[in-house]
Amino acid sequence: MNWLRFSLIMSCCALAVSQVACNSGPRRQLRMSQHRAMRLYAESQMLEQENLHLASQMNQYQQSLSMLAQEKQSLENHLAQIDSNLTIANQRIDNLLAERSELHHRYKDLLVKARTQQNPLSNEATRKFQELARRYPDFEFDPVTGVSKFHSDILFASGSAELRESAMPLLRDLASIMNSGDARNLNLLVVGHTDDQPIANARINHPTNWHLSTNRANSVVLALNKSGIKDQRLGAAGYSENQPVVPNADSHSRQRNRRVEIFVLAPDALIAGWDPSNVR
């Protein structure tokens, strides 16, 4: 094709030269026509090479665009999967928060009912609890409801959930009362409370007041269990700083709010799934 093009150009030049030669035909014009024909051919070759180069570049660009489109689609699919996983995770969090809120309300209702219920203890057991309160000044007993209260200072050191050794006789005496007479058929719910002060130098076992209140309740439950009260009769809960008996206005009021309460419950009391038929 290039040779045919060159031949055509040269033929045109020869025709032009022959016409010029017929008129006068100076050789100088002949040489100029030949040089012009050679230059045109070289330019044609260069243009053809540029066209081939541009076509190659265009093909590369199209391939790059195709790859970018595939990467874009892959990223969109990945983002859609992440969005789906995030939606599922948020739903799980919402479900957990709803369950926690439901449990909180159930325990709150329980505490309200326990504080207003009639004392399920017999007269003899009530008398023994009143005697226990006289022997231990930091132990309170309400003969109307049967609710016992321990000031935390008598049970624990500041910020600790480990029972003081001096508190063990009181807990053993309480367990002894609950394991005698008609009280053997009653259940106990131990509830821990704190003041509004954050944990200083938070320890790994209770970095927040939530942990501290529940850990203290657990410690009392374990001590009562060790003293002979069966597992099936015991329950534990913690309310952190959210159930104060008085406003946390000063150190004295905070001391009152730091407490462990024990609710004596009748054997037919259903508490957070507590089945009375399991009590033996």
103: Cα within 13 Å, side-chain hemisphere: 12
Residues in Cβ contact with 221 at an 8 Å cutoff, skipping those fewer than 6 apart: 190, 234, 235, 236
Does some domain include residue 86?
Answer: no
Cα first-last separation, the chain? 108
**Burial zone of 91 (CB within 10 Å; 0-12 exposed, 13-18 middle, 19+ buried):** exposed
Kindly indicate the confidence band of residue 7, based on its pLDDT and cuts at 50, 70 and 90.
low
Kindly indicate the confidence band of residue 219, based on its pLDDT and cuts at 50, 70 and 90.
very high
Residue 134 sits in the same domain as residue 56: no
Residue 145 sits in the same domain as residue 227: yes
Does some domain include residue 82?
Answer: no
Output the CA torsion 160→162→167→171 (10° steps). 120
- Which of 16, 39, 61 terminates a domain? The answer is 61
CATH number at residue 184: 3.30.1330.60
Q: How many residues does the chain have?
A: 280
- Which of 10, 26, 61 terminates a domain? The answer is 61
Residue 14 sits in the same domain as residue 142: no
- Which of 36, 61, 86 terminates a domain? The answer is 61
Residue 254 pLDDT > 80, yes or no?
A: yes
Does some domain include residue 97?
Answer: no
26, 16 Cβ separation under 8 angstroms: no
Residue 247 sits in the same domain as residue 135: yes
The rounded distance, in Å, linking the Cα atoms of 277 and 280 is 8
- Mean pLDDT of the region 55-83: 86
Residue 44 sits in the same domain as residue 125: no
Query: Residue 114 is which amino acid?
Result: A
Does some domain include residue 230?
Answer: yes
221, 190 Cβ separation under 8 angstroms: yes
Does some domain include residue 189?
Answer: yes
Residues in Cβ contact with 177 at an 8 Å cutoff, skipping those fewer than 6 apart: 125, 128, 129, 132, 183
Does some domain include residue 109?
Answer: no
Residue 280 pLDDT > 60, yes or no?
A: no
The model's pLDDT over 104-154, given as tens digits with 9 standing for 90+, comes to 666 655 555 555 557 888 899 999 999 999 999 889 998 888 889 988 788
- From residue 232, alpha-carbon distances to 186, 236, 267, 278, 280 in Å are 10, 12, 11, 7, 7
- Compute the mean pLDDT over every residue in the chain, rounded to the nearest whole number: 81
Residue 42 sits in the same domain as residue 153: no
Does some domain include residue 253?
Answer: yes
Does some domain include residue 46?
Answer: yes
Beta-bridge partners for 149: 140, 261
The rounded distance, in Å, linking the Cα atoms of 57 and 210 is 68
Kindly indicate the confidence band of residue 165, based on its pLDDT and cuts at 50, 70 and 90.
very high
The rounded distance, in Å, linking the Cα atoms of 92 and 98 is 10
| 33-67 per-residue burial string, b: 16 or more CB within 10 A, e: under 16 | beeebeeebeeeeeeeeeeeeeeeeeeeeeeeeee
- Output the pLDDT for position 272: 45
8: domain range? 2-61
Nearest to 17 by CA among 7, 8, 28, 3: 28
Residue 259 pLDDT > 90, yes or no?
A: yes
Domain count, the chain: 2
